[in-house]
Amino acid sequence: MANLTRASQELFRRTPDECFPSMAALAEFCQWRKRDAAELWQAPSKLGTQSVDGDRLMLTLDGGPAFQMNDWSFSQLCRLGGVSKETVNRLTPATAERVFRETLPRGNKPLQFFMHGGHVRSIHPPSYTRLYNSDLLALVREFAVDFEPPQKGVNDATGLYAGEQDMFCFLIDPAGWTEIGGEAFAPGFFVWNSEVGSRTVGIETFWFQAVCQNHIVWDAVEVVQFSRKHTTNVHESLAEIRRTIETLVARRDARRDGFAKVIQRAMETRLGDDAEEVRKVLAQQGITRTLVKKAMEVAQQNGAFTIFSLVDALTRIGGTLLYAGERMELDQKAAQLLALAV
């Protein structure tokens, strides 16, 4: 089993304005981005920069109006000129304008300028092919209908992010819990993309046992990853991502049917003929005397010491524990207990 940190890394690098409360809100933002986007093609010989008001450096295309740049497109401009971004940032805009006048390429093979409003979001050669975030999200929302963001993490992070450079989604099926090798797992996946080429387009699916507030995915199994660069055939990745999601959903459905049978057996199977026998079985599962007593008190309210009533009792008690490690350990013991019904 593996612990997956991709979503945790996203959580800690995102600013509040890049965090979205729901898939609907994220999709609306990405649709707006696509609707108002434009691509301009211009030869490098027509590319220039302009110092504005002595405190800003802007991009000009064929002597037309000046456009603002973001950090990503400015970095790309520096790479085009073969100059250090850190060095240019130390210069005055007027001096930087002279630097780019001397260093920018002067060929005639057109470059792609990706625009939004009055801003240049990215600069690419003809070999770059764009895949819009909204197209990827439309696929995810169609074929992963039961999946939703995990519980909120630290800083109210939702697992749904989009910024100037990229998009990232962390989704799970909270009702998809099933048994794998005698332990409880639920399905989830990460999906990501960049309209400006700062990262690949891709998906990573998995089955997990827990997600903490840092959005670390604990004890993941059957981890499958696919990614592709934004080259000519990048749109074919949508079909592969669709197949990956469909495979995850099909496996969830098959396992959930089997899990339902296990639950039915757990509801019908008593753990012991009397309280003393139940205590011995729970102790054999590594459950402390204190927790055994609490679990039996809760389970007894349901009238019988069935496997299900005791698993349910342990799960309820786990929800009251202060520390995530203790909750996770008790959840694992509950899963081991449920395995007795297999």
Q: 70 by DSSP, 3-state: which?
A: coil
Residue 124 within any structural domain of the chain: no
Pair 247, 147 in one domain: yes
Of 258, 289, 306, the position where a domain reaches its end is 258
Q: Are strands 66-69 and 119-124 parallel, antiparallel or unpaired?
A: parallel
Pair 181, 234 in one domain: yes
Instruction: State how far the alpha carbon of 9 is from the alpha carbons of 161, 170, 216, in Å.
Output: 12, 12, 9
Q: Which residue has the higher pLDDT, 175 or 162?
A: 162
For residue 301, which amino acid is it?
Q
pLDDT digits (tens, 9 = 90+) for 136-147: 999 999 999 999
Could you list the residue range(s) of the whole structural domain that residue 85 is in? 44-108
Pair 214, 336 in one domain: no
Of 258, 281, 297, the position where a domain reaches its end is 258
Question: What is the pLDDT confidence band of residue 186, given thresholds at 50, 70 and 90?
Answer: very high
Pair 281, 318 in one domain: yes
Number of structural domains, the chain?
3
For residue 284, which amino acid is it?
Q
Instruction: Provide the token pair at 232.
Output: 């000519």
Pair 145, 243 in one domain: yes
pLDDT digits (tens, 9 = 90+) for 60-74: 988 788 899 999 999
Task: Name the β-bridge partners of 178.
Answer: 185
pLDDT digits (tens, 9 = 90+) for 260-312: 677 778 788 888 778 888 888 888 888 888 888 888 888 877 667 888 888 88
**In the chain, how long is the greatest CA-to-CA distance?**
89
Q: What percent of the chain has pLDDT over 70?
A: 97
| Confidence (pTM) | 0.75
Residue 141 within any structural domain of the chain: yes
